[in-house]
Structure 1
């Protein structure tokens, strides 16, 4: 597992040409509206701000200070709207600058708005992959790293899912057709495992679902388990 800063891409999403025998299986990027909801939590922020606006409205009505209260209420709404707009802009920029790549040997994440960084995640360092399918049609692919590999939460955010205190798993966030992407990853892992039959990779522990309505499946990245999916 490695991270590389770069200014030039010989192949979109990759810091260098692919070695002989390695091929791209899939490339894609987050859907920015879904990334805003999943990664930047704009709906939670909107609800949080709405509580403050409602409280301020009630305070204005009960106090009878209509002029002063109305000015403060308008200012509050303007500030909160600007914050939500900024979060959506950041989500759009993050999605636009991101490119996820699955090859026959690894997963590559090109992320970063101002300074692009490429994360190389070889199959040998991935213990398992969780596919999370959501009712809206988007989903995530959560990559569980082999111990003792770990990634700090803010190194990859919002392309990560928390798995512990300030620790996270690399995640292909808010992608369209996650079932298809998971199938391609599983097939790439199966072929790679068949070619590296002596390699033993520890499987990550299965963690509880994050929300009740998620459809979650797990791809085990190990020679004997690569083709198995578990709920």
Structure 2
């Protein structure tokens, strides 16, 4: 029988229903191809095996007919295709198991293929957000937690800003229509931070105020 590991979620991508007054503004997941390209360096792997195949062909074409030279190159091409296929499969699994959520109060990230965890990042604990936009419209939004949340780069990879090992920044990686999502995030964070906080005064506070 088919089994959904996330069927017990009360709301997709969230471990529990949002509290009253909190609204979900956007949900999404990484683009599989963009994730394979950027986090798994798919293009670099293609280029590496392409150079190996060309080098192999050039070194043997003077020693045998062209048909045999191509046959001698074929194993490298097949090996490269297998490796690229495996990388794409890893990206597919990562993308399918991921749900990014932007609400009026926080950013939530359900991540992890083998070990699933959910990160809840309230806007008041975030600093800046950096958008890395690609020509195809996909992009990565990195979130600076100002040191309020300690995260392991290896634990949350690939959902982290690349090459920031010392101060790990969680990131919405390779999402489609990233510029629009960044606008939604910016508006929600600004609205949340500017909401006045009402604090009930204790008797001691009232005496001090007098």
The TM-score normalised by the length of structure 2 is: 0.81
Tell me the CA shift for residue 147 of structure 1: 2.2
Aligned-pair distance for 1:124?
Answer: 2.5
Q: CA deviation at 1:69?
A: 6.3
Report the alpha carbon displacement of residue 132 of structure 1 after superposing the two structures with TM: 2.1
CA distance in 1, matches of 2:111, 2:165: 22
Give 4+ residue runs of structure 1 displaced > 3 Å after superposition.
Answer: 62-72, 163-168
The answer to whether the 8 A contact 1:29-1:98 is kept is: yes
* Structure 2 residue matching 1:161: 3-state secondary structure: coil
Q: How far does residue 166 in structure 1 lie from its aligned partner after superposition?
A: 6.3
Structure 2: 5+ residue stretches without partners: 1-5, 199-210
**How far has the Cα of 1:140 moved from its partner?**
1.4
Distance 1:131 1:16, change over 3 A: same
State the distance in 1 between where 2:161 and 2:31 align: 17
- Name stretches of at least 5 consecutive residues in structure 1 with no aligned partner: 1-5, 199-231
Q: CA deviation at 1:31?
A: 1.4
Q: Which residue of 2 aligns with 1:32?
A: 32
Tell me which protein shows more helix as a share of its residues. 2
Question: What is the DSSP-based 3-state SS (H/G/I as helix, E as strand, rest coil) of the residue aligned with 2:154?
Answer: helix
Match of 1:155 in 2: 155
Say yes or no: does 1:112 pair with 2:112.
yes
CA distance in 1, matches of 2:166, 2:47: 25
Give the structure-1-normalised TM-score: 0.74
Distance 1:69 1:148, change over 3 A: farther
Return the alpha-carbon distance in structure 1 between the equivalents of residues 63 and 167 of structure 2. Answer: 47
1:76 equivalent in alignment to 2:62: no
- Any residues of structure 2 matched to 1:1-231 within 5 Å, and which? 8-64=8-64, 72-147=72-147, 149-165=149-165, 168-195=168-195
On the 8 A contact 1:60/1:70 being kept in 2, the answer is no
* SS of residue in 2 equivalent to 1:192: helix
Q: In the alignment, is the contact (CA less than 8 A) between 2:125 and 2:148 conserved in 1? A: no
Bigger strand fraction: 1
Query: Alignment length, in residue pairs?
Result: 194
Return the offset for 1:130: 0.9
Q: 1:141, CA displacement in angstroms? A: 0.9
Q: 1:65: how far off? A: 9.1
Query: How far 1:83 moved relative to its partner?
Result: 0.5
What's the Cα RMSD here? 2.6
* Structure-1 separation of matches of 2:180 and 2:148: 30
- Assess, with a 3 A threshold, how the Cα gap between structure 1 residues 42 and 167 changes in structure 2: closer, same or farther: farther
